[in-house]
């Protein structure tokens, strides 16, 4: 029995099912005398491969902390998203769907042409932060150009402890 339990525990650890580790990166800006801390999930792959040349597309969910505030965005190694239009600053705008448990919520995103960073709107940041804090994983669906809808599952377990340790 003990051997069986150890085997199960070992399998869970190898599969990442026990705890997620958040990568923590710190950036000091000597010019503004500020520090930013980045909490980064493990890489997430789309539920279905994208077509050439985007078949290796991956994403990370990133929470950036600075001066009692935070930003949330998605980093893609390669971006090919559809968008709905442009805002007054010329940034592309679009929508994503976020699945938390059995519920699905819409959120607004924006991104600059050529950027690998997909930002959440200011109105959705606090709500997304709450979803990350309260859930061990979230799924986010993006609309990819010529490939359509794909979702990415981000492991968000242990976020609260990583956030409290590094951002408060």
Write out pLDDT tens, residues 56-99.
999 999 999 988 889 999 999 999 999 999 988 889 999 999 99
Is the confidence at residue 118, as pLDDT, over 50? yes
**Average pLDDT score over residue span 20-45:** 93
**Concatenated DSSP letters for 63-96?**
EEEETTEEEEEEEESS--B---EE-TTS-EEEEE
Give the three-class secondary structure for 160: helix
Mean pLDDT across 119-147 = 95
Handedness of CA 72, 58, 20, 139 (dihedral sign): positive
Q: What percent of the chain has pLDDT over 70?
A: 88
98 domain residue, yes or no: yes
Residue 12 has pLDDT above 50, yes or no: no
Task: Look up the domain containing 133 and give its range.
Answer: 22-167
For residue 149, tell me if it sits in a domain: yes
CB contact at 8 A, 112 and 91: yes
Phi, psi of 6 (to 5 degrees): -65, -40
**In total, how many domains does the chain have?**
1
What is the structure's pLDDT at 114? 85
Contact 35, 26 (CB under 8 A): yes
CA atoms within 13 A on the CB side of 2: 0
Average pLDDT, stretch 20-36? Answer: 91
Average pLDDT, the chain: 88
CATH of the domain at 63: 2.60.40
How high is the pLDDT of residue 20? 62
Residue 69 lies in a domain: yes
Residue 132 in domain: yes
3 state DSSP class of 159: helix
Q: Tell me which DSSP letter residue 125 carries.
A: H
With contact defined as beta carbons under 8 Å apart, do 52 and 113 qualify?
no
User: H-type helices in the chain, by residue range?
Assistant: 2-15, 122-134, 159-167
In a domain, 6, yes or no: no
Contact by Cβ (8 Å): 44, 60: yes
Using alpha carbons only, what angle is made at residue 8 by residues 6 and 9, rounded to the nearest 5 degrees? Answer: 65
4 in any annotated domain: no
135 in a structural domain: yes
Residues in the chain: 168
Q: For residue 60, what pLDDT is reported?
A: 98
pTM comes to 0.84
Residue 73 inside a domain? The answer is yes
């Amino acid at each position: 029995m003990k051997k069986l339990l150890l085997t199960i525990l070992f399998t869970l650890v190898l599969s990442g099912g026990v705890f997620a580790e958040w990568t923590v990166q710190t950036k000091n800006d000597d010019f503004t005398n500020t520090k930013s801390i980045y909490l980064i999930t493990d890489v997430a792959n789309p539920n279905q491969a994208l077509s050439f040349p985007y078949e290796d597309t991956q994403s990370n969910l990133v929470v950036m902390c600075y001066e009692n505030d935070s930003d949330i965005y998605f980093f893609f190694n390669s971006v090919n998203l559809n968008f709905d239009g442009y805002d007054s600053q010329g940034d592309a705008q679009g929508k994503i769907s976020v699945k938390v448990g059995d519920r699905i919520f819409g959120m607004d995103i924006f991104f600059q042409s050529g950027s690998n960073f997909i930002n959440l709107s200011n109105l959705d940041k606090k709500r997304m932060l709450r979803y990350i804090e309260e859930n061990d994983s979230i799924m986010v669906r993006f609309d990819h150009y010529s490939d359509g809808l794909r979702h990415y599952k981000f492991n968000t377990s242990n976020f609260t402890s990583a956030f409290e340790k590094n951002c408060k």
